[in-house]
Amino acid sequence: MSVLLEARDLRKSFRRADGTVEVLRGVDFRLDPGQTAAITGNSGSGKSTLLNILGGLDTATSGEVLVDGIPLAVDDRDARVKWRAEGVGFVFQFHFLLPDFTALENLLVPVRSRGDVTPADRERALAFLDHMGLADRASHLPGELSGGEQQRVAVARAFMNRPALVLADEPFGNLDAANGARLGDLLMTLHRQEGVGLVLVTHDEHLAERAARRWHLADGRLQPGDGGGA
Ligand SMILES: Nc1ncnc2c1ncn2[C@@H]1O[C@H](COP(=O)(O)OP(=O)(O)OP(=O)(O)O)[C@@H](O)[C@H]1O
Ligand SMILES: [Mg+2]
């Protein structure tokens, strides 16, 4: 079976004037196409660092990331840029919506960065807003949306470009439990509907339980979580 994403012996250190911080110390990870994985871990354990490397936003100090079996070489900036622009959708803890763009326009940003926006793209964006319960909020600016609504736009945006993989870093960390659970449902539905691989960093046990694989990041390594990691 093909593997969508694989990490082999990833290590990451941050060098600073006052010393070196070793964050990742040999992370091995794999995700099949369309599979879900949840990563938990203490604050500062390196979860965001790992997601950034998997998504091509950052590079490892050593080790390999393979996409569809092909190494994402550290010195091949073009391949990394292509992977993060076309292969990956990101959801961050804080939504990073563009404040001067409406909800609909924000959904179309990743499409625009690849080329012209077609009527089919607009239809897809409107269908996503509808799915998110935001059909009547398409022309609202982020400042005219609630925090939960903004996060719903950010989740939908991650799927717009039909990525192979969505990386979500504490996507509901700033929402209350009820809103977080609701957005968790919407995220899982979109993931299934679109057949997209999903890596979810979360401290929410209920959300983590819904992933096929669970991992715990500690001491710079990924260990199988409560789901057995299998
Ligand atoms: N650019 C950097 N330079 C130096 N140290 C860094 C840098 N980025 C991250 N770190 C350190 O690496 C460690 C891991 O950070 P990271 O953001 O990956 O943690 P995290 O698991 O996502 O934490 P949280 O749950 O709080 O978001 C932290 O100790 C942090 O201080
Ligand atoms: Mg983090």
Four-point Cα dihedral 162, 11, 42, 21, nearest 10: -130
Phi-psi domain of 96 (left: phi exceeds 0; alpha: psi -120 through 50; beta: other): left
Instruction: Locate the ligand 1 atom nearest the alpha carbon of residue 21 and give its number.
Output: 5
Backbone angles phi, psi at 166, to 5 degrees: -115, 130
Supply 31's token pair. 């995700």
Q: Is residue 230 part of a domain?
A: no
- Confidence category of residue 228, pLDDT binned at 50, 70, 90: very low
Atom 17 in ligand 1: residue holding the nearest Cα: 48
For residue 119, the CA-to-ligand 2 centroid distance in Å is 36
Decide if 131 contacts 159 (C-beta within 8 A): no
DSSP string, 65-100: EEETTEE--TT-HHHHHHIIIIIEEEE-SS----TT
Domain of 70 in residue numbering reads as 5-224
- The mean pLDDT of 38-51, rounded to a whole number, is 95
Q: What is the pLDDT of residue 205?
A: 84
Give residue-wise pLDDT tens across range 93-141: 777 899 999 999 999 999 998 889 999 999 999 999 999 999 999 999 9
Decide if 2 contacts 68 (C-beta within 8 A): yes
Q: At what angle do helices 177-194 and 119-131 cross, to 10 degrees?
A: 140
pTM, full prediction = 0.92
For residue 177, the CA-to-ligand 1 centroid distance in Å is 25
Is the pLDDT reported for residue 156 higher than 70?
Answer: yes
Cα dihedral across residues 186, 154, 24, 40: positive or negative: negative
Q: What is the pLDDT of residue 230?
A: 43
Q: What is the pLDDT of residue 115?
A: 87
Q: What angle do CA 167, 8, 219 make, to 5 degrees?
A: 80
Q: What is the pLDDT of residue 33?
A: 94
d(Cα 171, Cα 190) in Å, to the nearest integer?
A: 14
- The mean pLDDT of 14-35, rounded to a whole number, is 95
Decide if 96 contacts 174 (C-beta within 8 A): no
Q: How many CA atoms lie within 13 A of 85 on its CB side?
A: 12
d(Cα 180, Cα 202) in Å, to the nearest integer?
A: 11
How many domains is the chain built from?
A: 1
pLDDT above 70 as % of the chain: 97
Is the pLDDT reported for residue 226 higher than 70?
Answer: no
Q: Which tops the pLDDT comparison, 74 or 66?
A: 66
- Confidence category of residue 173, pLDDT binned at 50, 70, 90: confident
CATH of the domain at 73: 3.40.50.300
- The mean pLDDT of 168-196, rounded to a whole number, is 89
- The mean pLDDT of 80-105, rounded to a whole number, is 90
For residue 23, the CA-to-ligand 1 centroid distance in Å is 7
Atom 2 in ligand 1: residue holding the nearest Cα: 14
Q: Which of 65-74, 95-104, 155-164, 183-192 has the lowest mean pLDDT?
A: 65-74
Average pLDDT, the chain: 91
Q: Is residue 229 part of a domain?
A: no
d(Cα 78, Cα 22) in Å, to the nearest integer?
A: 27
Question: Residues with beta carbon < 5 A to ion ligand 2?
Answer: 48
- The mean pLDDT of 140-158, rounded to a whole number, is 94
For residue 14, the CA-to-ligand 1 centroid distance in Å is 9
Binding-site residues, ligand 1, Cβ < 6 A = 14, 16, 21, 23, 41, 43-49
Q: Is residue 64 part of a domain?
A: yes
